Chains A and B, each alone.
Chain A
């Protein structure tokens, strides 16, 4: 067991609680930076995808995991970011301006569209946002002059400091761009969680009545959470466009929205780490299945090709998580860590919550 002696309030305010923790995250970043030295261009592309989905999942995590507002509309925000980015690039705006703007445009548009439904809670809010996801394909088709509609449009490469970057031509550089964006979003997110605005998000998630009694303006705060959430999703959408090279009305569909929600639930609702773990699982499943399939075919000449198997496995993991580990993969990790730190004194019920107290709907 490690004892950390805190000597100033800074210890609780800093990004890292102590230098051991900082060490692990710096190591992780170093490994991510060095990854192109060890792996080929195909896998680095998959790494980039994990990062892109992590950014999108962080967007959703902020709204759902930290503000308690479920959304099935995040693919639509990704679409807004993507198409805004492409349109601006095609208009000759430099990427360094177009890219952040595309996030902000998605954030503003998302907030405006969703503002009327932000009073809803739980499943009703999910249904209202579901409508947005269903509509987005039609909206992209209707906006054909700008989006290319069903035929779609080619996403121009990133042009940065005189260097053309695209996923196929310069996969390593593209990976670094994704990594930089991810690190930036992580930093903003972490800052938020340690400051008043982030705390007001958590307050709203846990008790709207109390949040109001503490002086938190519900509509304003929810709108801010939505704006930031849709901005992150928009940035991820723009990157996803670059990664795909070509986007059309079906790129950002309802299934993607649902998958994002599953990602954060599997990863661990309410934990930033959960967004990453979920994105990893989501990207690794098809990859692992493909490898497994090739292996079966070459080694035993067995050909399995069940349609929808990826989705099935993904959904299976979701069900297992919901049943046995509501804190998601991050919860599993927390327990493992505690187990080893306390070894051999870990008790099975250590993470069990005490009985909850009777609550009535009425404000008393």
Chain B
């Protein structure tokens, strides 16, 4: 049985069909990449998985559970963690605090024990802290542990967001454009981390990414979307050479350069 299974999922926003009858499966241990031009519906797939939207049609199953039967705050309990395309951190808290919030689903205390701070709560806090320190070591965030998010550079924020997702100890990690806005070196670090996450931590990764270099380097399978519909699924090479994919990118100067587009779009929006 696949870890994640989407069947005929359709999501509409008014007249726009953001996701059009999409079916896909992600197997355990995979790094599965979603690619496609701007507005293809990639982030919408993530938001459907997070239960921020309810699809008009289709089913989503994860690890034997019906995801659509859950509320957004129950999704992490299944072991699904995510990052956001437009970094959504807890701005006015420290890096450490952000990562500790990632441990929320592992809490064992309730309001009363928290108020009294029983020895049990203290012991649990130490465990949370140990788990978070592992993430900090893994991502080399030691220097930023006690820094406020509000003052951090963009690249570090991206790493903190990845760390926060890892702190939840997920089975499936959703990464929405992990390399967008990063320098070449930072992108390389990201590639190594994703490999380690898959190989050493045994976490399945589903990511959206425009940088085909990164996609080719880390992904086991790739699915190309355009205007909400699936174009092709296969290895990075297969998908890149697929006629429908090339056609979808025509006029946007080819798939290799597509990586720079989200930033361009944001600049325009600003």
Contact = CB atoms under 8 A, between A and B. Distances in A.
Interface in B93-135: 93, 96-97, 100-105, 107, 109-111, 113-117, 121-122, 125-126, 129-130
A353 B147 CA distance: 12
A214 B116 contact: no
Contacts of A364: 43, 84-86, 176
A363 B92 contact: no
Interface string A6-35: 000110110000000000000000000000
B153 interface: yes
Interface size range on A against B: 35 or more
Nearest to A227: B111
A364 to B, nearest CB: 4
A358 B269 contact: yes
A215 B130 CA distance: 20
A270 B92 contact: yes
A9 B126 contact: yes
Contacts of A79: none
B125 A195 contact: yes
Contacts of B116: 188, 191
Interface string A183-209: 000001001101111111011011101
Nearest to B177: A364
Given A205-B92, A206-B91, A210-B88, A194 B101 contact: no
A118 interface: no
Contact of B86 (A191, A205, A360): A360
B214 to A, nearest CB: 18
A211 B269 CA distance: 26
B138 interface: no
A195 B52 contact: no
Interface stretch (A167-175, A216-224, A245-253): A216-224
Interface in A33-68: none
Given A206-B89, A363-B52, A356 B150 contact: yes
B104 A206 contact: no
A212 interface: yes
B76 interface: yes
B150 A354 contact: yes
B117 A195 contact: yes
B2 interface: no
A364 B110 CA distance: 32
A60 B89 CA distance: 24
A2 interface: no
B62 to A, nearest CB: 15
B115 A207 contact: no
A354 B114 contact: no
* Main SS at interface, chain A: helix
Interface string A255-272: 000000000000000100
Given A196-B109, A214-B76, A215-B168, A191 B114 contact: yes
B74 interface: yes
B29 interface: no
Nearest to B74: A215
A191 B115 contact: yes
Interface centre among B84, B115, B153, B176 (most CB of A within 10 A): B115
A354 B101 contact: no
Interface centre among A194, A198, A212, A216 (most CB of B within 10 A): A212
Nearest to A221: B73
B93 A197 contact: no
B192 interface: no
A210 B92 CA distance: 13
Interface centre among B72, B93, B101, B107 (most CB of A within 10 A): B101
Interface in B19-77: 43, 47, 50, 52, 71-77
B86 A359 contact: yes
B221 interface: no
Interface string A99-119: 000000000000000000000
A319 B93 CA distance: 26
B171 interface: no
Nearest to A357: B154
Given A213-B82, A354-B151, A357-B87, A198 B114 contact: yes
Given A13-B126, A207-B88, A359-B86, A196 B107 contact: yes
13 contacts: A10-B126, A199-B100, A199-B104, A206-B92, A207-B88, A207-B89, A213-B72, A213-B76, A215-B74, A357-B87, A357-B154, A358-B269, A364-B84
Interface of A: 9-10, 12-13, 188, 191-192, 194-200, 202-203, 205-207, 209-218, 224, 228, 270, 353-354, 356-360, 363-364
Interface of B: 43, 47, 50, 52, 71-77, 81-82, 84-93, 96-97, 100-105, 107, 109-111, 113-117, 121-122, 125-126, 129-130, 150-154, 157, 164, 168, 176, 266, 269-270
